[in-house]
Structure 1
């Protein structure tokens, strides 16, 4: 899976873009990234929603985990997330 993220602006939300290299189903744990792109610490997700042509569709989140993500090969999914306390970090996917 390809992963990238960016901060949308002053509203405190970030966008995660996932692109599936094969069919995937499962949970996705996010981490804040520190120096040299190393996983630094877990984050708290307050809100998460998939961006669709029909608007935002809520995604279940527990602590730093986006739950029940389903993507087919070559499908791209944009997820809008708001982190706890309005925090903004460089985001990555937890390894292992």
Structure 2
């Protein structure tokens, strides 16, 4: 059985290129089981990233699609980034 596993330095460049060419590599904007901040009604709220997919992200158990989050104000790695976005600096 093939399992999901993180990329490591043990993979060769050819293996990585093959994964990219076959659509197996994606860049996740946030790490799993890490805190993040979402902006709701111009206020940042701390959440935990519980899952990430191509179409959306699960934050503290609730799924959001990327467009929905962008309309709400965004999702950020730090509270400072969220506050900066609320203040209009992002």
**TM-score of the aligned structures, taking structure 1 as reference length:** 0.28
Structure with a larger share of its residues in helix: 2
Rg comparison, structure with higher value = 2
**TM-score of the aligned structures, taking structure 2 as reference length:** 0.29
Say which structure, 1 or 2, has more relative contact order (CA 8 Å, 6+ apart).
Answer: 1
